């Protein structure tokens, strides 16, 4: 029963997200293309090329157990190439987080369709704008600014995020800073700490071997 309510909400969200996408198209961010659409070579262009069915698996799937992102960008859905739009469906179990990140090529418009969600972004003057969203609320993350989402509630939260680019370009700060081969000394100096301290978050993010 709970799962049915959940999937109805998801279905509703997917319908509404189409609306959000239309709004995004009015301020599209990718370069204009000189064709009606762009198709990869050796792809049959018929109505199926313009249809994305992978989100069907979310309908009726029940609440998530870990933070999960289901993407429809030009990688998963090649017909989006050149059309300046993409969406993610975000599922947050209670207590889960989408760590601070930016999308370098697109504004994000988040529509919360189940649960409540703490969201925030930091502008270029280092000012934090944070809000606790209720089901039905939308929040905008201006292009390129660092932002996060956190489900501080006791129930799952689901959001649909629409982007003004077919390839919004995710940069996750924990991953970028502590899961690459940036020299430990550079990080220690940057964070005004020592190398041992820097190695702590690095160990947490390293792939499990
Ligand atoms: C397209 O298909 C043709 C014929 O099978 C093949 O020769 C060609 O390499 C393919 N091109 C690409 C880009 O896959
Ligand atoms: C850290 O980087 C590795 C290699 O790119 C990747 O497999 C792993 O998922 C990353 N860890 C996190 C927490 O993103």
Are 116 and 93 in contact by the 8 Å Cβ rule? The answer is no
* Domain regions of the chain by residue span: 2-167, 179-209
**CATH class of the region 2-167:** mainly beta
pLDDT band at residue 6 using 50, 70 and 90 as cut-offs:
low
Half-sphere exposure of 125 (CA within 13 A, CB side): 2
> Residue range 175-203: average pLDDT?
95
pLDDT of 29: 76
Q: Tell me how far CA of residue 80 lies from CA of 28, 73, 119, 127, in angstroms.
A: 12, 7, 27, 34
| Shortest-distance ligand to the CA of residue 207 | 2
Q: How far is the CA of 176 from the centre of ligand 2 (A)?
A: 10
CA distance linking residue 110 with residue 159, whole number of Å: 6
Distance of CA 131 from the midpoint of ligand 2 (Å):
29
DSSP code for 66? S
pLDDT tens for each residue of 70-98: 999 999 999 999 999 999 999 999 999 99
* Residues 112, 152: Cα–Cα separation, whole Å: 14
pTM of the model: 0.82
Ligand nearest to C-alpha 43: 1
Q: Which two tokens stand for residue 38?
A: 């762009």
């Amino acid at each position: 029963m709970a799962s049915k309510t959940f999937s109805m909400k998801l279905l509703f969200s997917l319908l509404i997200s189409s609306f959000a996408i239309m709004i995004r198209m009015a301020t599209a961010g990718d370069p204009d293309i000189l064709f009606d659409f762009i198709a990869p070579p050796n792809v049959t262009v018929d109505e199926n090329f313009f249809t994305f069915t992978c989100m069907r698996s979310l309908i009726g799937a029940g609440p998530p157990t870990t933070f999960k992102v289901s993407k429809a960008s030009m990688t998963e859905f090649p017909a989006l190439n050149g059309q300046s739009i993409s969406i993610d469906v975000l599922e947050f179990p209670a207590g889960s987080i989408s760590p601070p990140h930016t999308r370098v090529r697109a504004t994000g418009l988040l529509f919360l369709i189940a649960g409540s969600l703490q969201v925030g972004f930091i502008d270029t003057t280092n000012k934090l704008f944070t809000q606790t969203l209720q089901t039905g609320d939308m929040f905008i993350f201006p292009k390129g600014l660092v932002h996060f989402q956190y489900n501080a509630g006791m129930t799952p939260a689901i959001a649909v995020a629409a982007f003004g680019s077919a390839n919004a370009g995710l940069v996750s700060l924990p991953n970028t800073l502590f899961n690459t081969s940036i020299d430990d000394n550079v990080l220690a100096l940057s964070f005004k700490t020592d190398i041992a301290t820097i190695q702590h978050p690095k160990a947490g993010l390293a792939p499990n071997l």
